[in-house]
Structure 1
Amino acid sequence: MIRVLLADDEELVRVAVAALLGLEPDIEVVAQAADGAGAVTATLAHRPDVAVVDLEMPGLTGIEVAAELTRARPECAVVVLTGHGRPGHLRKALAAGARGFLPKGSPGGALADVIRRVHAGGRYVDPSLAADALTLPACPLSPRELETLRLAEFGTPVAVIARRVHLSDGTARNHLSAAVQKLGAADRAEAVRIARDNGWL
């Protein structure tokens, strides 16, 4: 019997997936969690074989959960589910140690098949996401531009960003302007979104 943990902040989705997996003769859902920290705690307490985690959860994201479980309990295979699969997320999830990456819109039996595959030591990546990830362009931003853009993510004032990276206000502003221009964005917020979607941040 393959022991599974499910983590998703949307209760309806989590309960529905648990019910679906409950129909499988060789899979048992042994724990559920509504956020990332709960997923880590429940995994350490219940010792599932496979943890199925949502990409976007409160607290720790699915990618952060994958990284934590890979460190704390490497024998537990992590599958990341996503409502909007982006190639950048795929790269980060795999780098964090996830063994599976699957869109939530996949056919009903797909998750059970992926659970079996990763439990047997294999990997699974949605083919269309894998193809997109292979064709991602290289990051056009310099390390300094990436650093200032990362700090700008939450609307941080330029003066604060400049202090954190030990630059003058004008130089920090120039790096941010260059990042916005190189990414073809309308503003800093859009530049951050583009960089995140492509896995550069």
Structure 2
Amino acid sequence: MTIRLLIADDQALVRGALAALLDLEPDLEVVAEVGRGDEVLEAVRTAKPDVALLDVEMPGLDGIEAAAALRAVPGVRVLMVTTFGRPGYLRRAMEAGAAGFVVKDTPAAQLADAVRRVHQGLRVVDPSLAAETLVAGTSPLTARESDVLRAARAGGTVADVARELHLSEGTVRNHLSAAIGKTGARTRAEAARIALDNGWL
């Protein structure tokens, strides 16, 4: 039986390399490739893959958001394949419904095996990342603090962030202050970097 695959990665070279490697396996067939997260759901509905391999950082929707959207589609399982092996990403991906999480430098044979195991209904997680995630714990940020930090990453003023999120400037300042305190940062830019490095954003 052939396992049908979708690959979603915004880097065409990486996407092509993954497809070429996996197509070499006699029981695997790449039936769709997309370069944006917001193209995943439609491609899955059209191509009907058994397993979707999603990068985390993509335009449109990130891979974690795309994984959450795929919960509405029966019969497809998600394997995150990413450069960014951040503990927070692993936790968020699993909460979004992903069945596996591996990094892109995983050897081809191990990646193919991960695809097969996810297809069988098993969970597959990079062991060193799993250990890091246990040590790191959950994000200390609330959902709203994360939203405010994400918006602040673009470098806009408090007024800009308030406008974008439909909040008062005072509320934005309070959330930024809380996020700075929780991350142990000195500035909002540093707080955003720490949160991003931990995969909390």
TM range (shorter): 0.7 to 0.9
CA distance, structure 2, for counterparts of residue 47 and residue 89 of structure 1: 26
Q: In structure 1, the residue corresponding to 2:101 is in which secondary structure?
A: strand
Q: Give unmatched runs, 5+ long, in structure 2.
A: none
Larger radius of gyration: 1
8 Å contact kept, 2:88–2:138: no
Q: CA 1:152 to 1:126, structure 2 compared with 1: closer, same or farther past 3 Å?
A: same
Post-superposition Cα deviations, 1:74-96, rounded to whole Å, max 9, x if no partner, equal: 31001111112100000110011
CA distance, structure 2, for counterparts of residue 58 and residue 40 of structure 1: 14
Q: CA 1:67 to 1:145, structure 2 compared with 1: closer, same or farther past 3 Å?
A: closer
- Asked whether 1:33 is paired with 2:34, we answer yes
State the match for 1:131 in structure 2: 131
CA distance, structure 1, for counterparts of residue 142 and residue 17 of structure 2: 44
Q: CA 1:7 to 1:187, structure 2 compared with 1: closer, same or farther past 3 Å?
A: same
Q: Give unmatched runs, 5+ long, in structure 1.
A: none
Return the offset for 1:34: 1.2
Q: In structure 1, the residue corresponding to 2:153 is in which secondary structure?
A: coil
CA distance, structure 2, for counterparts of residue 8 and residue 109 of structure 1: 20
The letter of the residue matching 1:78 is V
State the match for 1:57 in structure 2: 58
Q: CA 1:147 to 1:41, structure 2 compared with 1: closer, same or farther past 3 Å?
A: closer
Q: TM-score with structure 2 length normalisation?
A: 0.86
Q: In structure 2, the residue corresponding to 1:135 is in which secondary structure?
A: helix
- Asked whether 1:93 is paired with 2:93, we answer yes
The letter of the residue matching 2:53 is V
8 Å contact kept, 2:34–2:40: yes
Q: In structure 2, the residue corresponding to 1:109 is in which secondary structure?
A: helix
- Asked whether 1:106 is paired with 2:106, we answer yes
8 Å contact kept, 1:148–1:165: no
Q: In structure 1, the residue corresponding to 2:108 is in which secondary structure?
A: coil
State the match for 2:6 in structure 1: 5
Q: CA 1:63 to 1:148, structure 2 compared with 1: closer, same or farther past 3 Å?
A: closer
CA distance, structure 2, for counterparts of residue 102 and residue 138 of structure 1: 19
Please report the RMSD computed on the Cα atoms of aligned residues, expressed in angstroms.
2.4
Q: In structure 2, the residue corresponding to 1:24 is in which secondary structure?
A: coil
CA distance, structure 2, for counterparts of residue 67 and residue 177 of structure 1: 30
Return the offset for 1:38: 2.0
Paired positions, count: 198
